[in-house]
Structure 1
Amino acid sequence: MTKARIAVFSSKSYDKDSMNAANSKYGFELDFYKTQLTANTAKLVEGYDAISCFVNDMVDVDVLSQLDKANIKMIALRCAGFNNIDLDEAKRRGFVVSRVPGYSPESVAEHAVAMLLCLNRKLHKAYSRIREHNFNLEGLLGFNLSSKTVGIIGTGKIGQATIRALSGFGCKILCHDPYPNDVVTELGATYVDLDTLYQQSDVISLHCPLTPESNHMINRDAFAKMKSGVMLINTSRGALVNASDAIEALKSGKLGYLGLDVYELEGDLFFRDLSGQVIHDDVFGLLLSYPNVLVTGHQGYFTDLALDQIAETTLGNIKAYMKGEKTGNEVF
């Protein structure tokens, strides 16, 4: 029997290593493309049986049309979110779209907590000072997390893992989610409405999907309800935060700390080396200029365990499709 051919887009060396290792038991023919999947690169899909793509691959109407013409009906996402796919068009054309909903939620949770601690204790500033033999503590004052209230927006698997991680610090934890979960209350957290969470939280961490309802949910109006000097951490999706409004909140002091592992226009920036180029995104450039802003390049998921689980689940989703079966990871 001919091996099924899979085109893997937006792949890096670590994707190739983890996918090839997982593929030892599936036997697919995997071809890795560093390029993103776009309308301009979709011509590469000719001759494949399925494709795999990542968070910044834009699977819009044009791309879906080209996939359809190439008789490809399987799109295997290597991530939990699916906001980069035109789902209505995909469903209309009869595509199967699968995702990886359960890869190591602790990886993202731990990164969120790491960003929180780094911003609080000014570790990024201290590191630079010490390398220059500057041991002055002025400007490095932090706060005791045990005395603070942390708000968690989104209590799925990653939100729950973040709650478990933060519980050990002794802080009060408030949560908001349209779909409350008994596990969260058993962990000692309290569900509240969104306004109450904004008003009472010293730290707010985002762990919700990007939907039309959540797009730019953290905006000028939301900041106005928050405590002065609040810390905001976003390891979920960039467009949850209106970056321009965040800059205004930084200027006014309303936003005291900002940690971003994601950014709304990250597709033109993240997962590549731009160190020799001028970045033309003025909003992003301004964010980087603030000493109380910490940015990482969509690194939250990036652990060895998470990569292994992503590869295994992605290939398992494709295998199920080839056999006419379902895994429960299908978007629809």
Structure 2
Amino acid sequence: MSSKPKLIYYRMLNFQQDNMDLLKENFDVIVLDDPTQDDDIELLDVVVSFAPLGFYFNAEKMDRMPALRIIASNTTSVPHIDEAAAKERGIKVISLREELAFLRTITPTAELTWGLMLTMMRNIPGAFRSVLDGQWSRWPFGAPRMLSRMTLGLVGIGRIGEIVARYGVAFGMPVYYYDPYVEIPPVEGVSKVDSLEELVSLSDVVSLHLHLTDETRNLFNAALFDKFREGSYLINTSRGAIVETAAMLAALESGRLAGAAIDVLDDEFEQGFNKSVKEHPLVRYAATHDNLVITPHIAGSTVDAWHLTQKHTIKRALEELAKMEVA
């Protein structure tokens, strides 16, 4: 019998081989495809469990795991874990949320934010399709303005928002931000505003960089979209549920939003979402309109970022487990 602590790993997490090797060096690893394969007998003495997005780690599952000490997720937020239930049971939830020093070395979300902005503003997908259709003409693809003649508004100027702010300054854009937790602008040439309403009224492009909480859910609703500049743009690489879907669709259809580019959808973490994604209202709209670009939550998806975040989460689990054993 192995003396190593038992850990559940799910293949859907797609850890790279050296990170799998690190797991197997330190844990007795149970490998399953996804949480639908959880077996009560195997769960009994599991000490550490990974928690993949798309499956809610609730109190009922925790109670099936009486030896559980740690739930680990290599994500920056944990909407898929019942943190209150974990705390009640003395279970440590490990994620990347508070790993600020480490996260400052992980830049792909900010990079995709800028890529989405350029993709939407310059209608890159449409231009590419026209070439494939045998057309070689620039005239259908004139962007409304140069980015350097547009204002950028950031909702949240934490780790990712700060990087995007630097990109905006480098592109010559006037940059504003709204963040009640950051008084002094962290980037030279960036200005703070006092309300969301003021921010969206000043901004040609609004980019979201905040966590999903009870306070931020559906924060971007019909009332707020009414305050947007006519013909402005929205970029969302945060969480889909921050934006009310019906309100966003109405803003796109009315022209209040000239366009949007998003990497997230409001119900993407619900089990079975992949089977119904084509029926999502925003996906149906994008299928017949050029002013909405959607990518499948790829913001953090570079091979090196995957590797680093996986390894960091494993090491944090080992550190926490060592503390518990000492205690």
What's the offset of the Cα at 1:4? 2.5
2:135 pairs with 1:134: yes
What's the offset of the Cα at 1:86? 2.0
Question: In 2 relative to 1, CA 270–119 (structure 1 residues): closer, same or farther, beyond 3 Å?
Answer: farther
2:86 pairs with 1:95: no
Segment drifting more, 284-293 vs 159-168: 284-293
CA distance in 2, matches of 1:209, 1:278: 23
Question: In 2 relative to 1, CA 125–31 (structure 1 residues): closer, same or farther, beyond 3 Å?
Answer: farther
1:286 is matched with which residue? Answer: 285
What's the offset of the Cα at 1:237? 1.0
Question: In 2 relative to 1, CA 170–84 (structure 1 residues): closer, same or farther, beyond 3 Å?
Answer: same
What's the offset of the Cα at 1:136? 2.7
Query: After the TM superposition, which residues 40-189 of structure 1 pair with which residues of structure 2 at under 5 Å, given as runs?
Result: 41=38, 43=40, 45-67=43-65, 69=66, 71-101=67-97, 102-103=102-103, 104-142=105-143, 143-180=145-182, 182=184, 184-189=185-190
Aligned residue pairs total 316
What's the offset of the Cα at 1:31? 4.0
Question: In 2 relative to 1, CA 278–117 (structure 1 residues): closer, same or farther, beyond 3 Å?
Answer: closer
1:261 is matched with which residue? Answer: 263
* Counterpart code for 1:204: V
C-alpha contact (below 8 Å) 1:115/1:259 kept by paired residues: yes
What's the offset of the Cα at 1:23? 4.2
2:310 pairs with 1:314: no
Structure 2 counterpart SS, 1:179: coil
What's the offset of the Cα at 1:181? 5.5
CA distance in 2, matches of 1:247, 1:63: 37
Question: In 2 relative to 1, CA 222–49 (structure 1 residues): closer, same or farther, beyond 3 Å?
Answer: same
What's the TM-score once normalised by structure 1's chain length?
0.86
Query: After the TM superposition, which residues 244-255 of structure 1 pair with which residues of structure 2 at under 5 Å, given as runs?
Result: 244-255=246-257
Structure 1 counterpart SS, 2:127: helix
1:211 corresponds, among 200, 210, 213, to 213
C-alpha contact (below 8 Å) 1:18/1:307 kept by paired residues: no
Unaligned runs of 5+ in 2: none
Over residues 48-81 of structure 1, what are the superposed CA-to-partner deviations in whole Å (9 max), with x where a residue is unaligned?
22111233331223333333x4x21211111011
Question: In 2 relative to 1, CA 93–27 (structure 1 residues): closer, same or farther, beyond 3 Å?
Answer: closer
* Counterpart code for 2:288: S
C-alpha contact (below 8 Å) 2:7/2:48 kept by paired residues: yes
What is the percentage of aligned positions where both structures have the same residue? 23
CA distance in 2, matches of 1:235, 1:278: 18
Which is bigger in relative contact order (C-alpha 8 A, separation at least 6)? 1
What's the offset of the Cα at 1:96? 0.6
* Counterpart code for 1:118: T
C-alpha contact (below 8 Å) 2:252/2:258 kept by paired residues: yes
C-alpha contact (below 8 Å) 2:75/2:95 kept by paired residues: yes
CA distance in 1, matches of 2:39, 2:152: 43
2:242 corresponds, among 230, 236, 240, to 240
C-alpha contact (below 8 Å) 2:162/2:187 kept by paired residues: no
CA distance in 1, matches of 2:291, 2:217: 24
1:330 is matched with which residue? Answer: none
Query: After the TM superposition, which residues 26-45 of structure 1 pair with which residues of structure 2 at under 5 Å, given as runs?
Result: 27-35=26-34, 37=35, 41=38, 43=40, 45=43
1:302 is matched with which residue? Answer: 301
What's the TM-score once normalised by structure 2's chain length?
0.87
Segment drifting more, 93-102 vs 121-130: 93-102
What's the offset of the Cα at 1:309? 1.9
CA distance in 1, matches of 2:88, 2:142: 55
CA distance in 2, matches of 1:278, 1:265: 9
* Counterpart code for 2:125: H
CA distance in 2, matches of 1:311, 1:22: 10
C-alpha contact (below 8 Å) 1:270/1:298 kept by paired residues: no
